Amino acid sequence: MKSFSEHLKEIRKEKYNSMDAVAQNSVFDSSNYNKFENGKGNPTIETILKMASAFKIPPKELFDFDFDIEKYKIDE
């Protein structure tokens, strides 16, 4: 199973060569984007929309990856 950050990195590599190229094609800088790709930050909905715009993909594609629901299961 991969994480959001791993999926984000795959999309970036398909669309651009570097994080700087992402930043040049969006409204956020590479250090902010780097946090998300390294799993150290949680993007807001607004940031998700900006990422999708930079990658020229529908926002739902950012969440189209295998997810291990058991890993995040909340005990009742």
d(CA 50, CA 28): 8
Sign of CA dihedral 55, 58, 59, 65: negative
Return the minimum-mean-pLDDT range out of 6-20, 21-35, 39-53.
21-35
Cβ burial, residue 69 (10 Å; 0-12/13-18/19+): exposed
Confidence check: pLDDT of 61 > 90: yes
Contact 25, 43 (CB under 8 A): no
Q: Residue 27 — pLDDT band, cuts 50, 70, 90?
A: low
Mean pLDDT for the stretch of residues 29-55: 86
In whole angstroms, give the CA distance from residue 67 to residue 41: 18
